Amino acid sequence: EAQVTQNPRYLITVTGKKLTVTCSQNMNHEYMSWYRQDPGLGLRQIYYSMNVEVTDKGDVPEGYKVSRKEKRNFPLILESPSPNQTSLYFCASSITIRGGETQYFGPGTRLLVL
């Protein structure tokens, strides 16, 4: 089944404790992206990757890192989480970055930073 998977689905952590949220897609997609969803703000892009070893900042990159060493994986790293990073995170992928291309979303990771 074609899908985007994220782990963990739920995470509670404390300020300053490094964490990684994994994202994997099995569709051989070139483009992958991370979003955060906050009430009333919709989804805002954190980072994106156009292909292996090619990543760039989205609208809200502060406090996050990413890497794209393999085509299928795009982990999101919070080196020193803070309470304002409490949010719902979505990973997404699409076959290319061509405009109009459908993005497929993972199920989301709900993060609480105490």
Partner 1 sequence: AQSVTQPDIHITVSEGASLELRCNYSYGATPYLFWYVQSPGQGLQLLLKYFSGDTLVQGIKGFEAEFKRSQSSFNLRKPSVHWSDAAEYFCAVGAPVNAGNMLTFGGGTRLMVKP
Site residues for partner 1 per CB under 8 A: 4, 31, 33, 35, 40-45, 48, 50, 56, 58-59, 90, 92, 94, 97-103, 105-108
Contact (CB, 8 A) for 45 and 30:
no
At residue 93, what is the residue type? S
CB proximity list for 20: less than 8 A, separation 6 or greater:
75, 76, 77, 78
Of residues 3 and 80, the one with the C-beta less far from partner 1: 3
Of residues 8 and 17, the one with the C-beta less far from partner 1: 8
The tokens for 107 are 């199920």
Output the smallest distance, CB 73 to partner 1, in A. 18
Output the smallest distance, CB 49 to partner 1, in A. 9
Q: Is 43 helix (H, G, I), strand (E, B) or coil?
A: strand
Output the smallest distance, CB 16 to partner 1, in A. 29
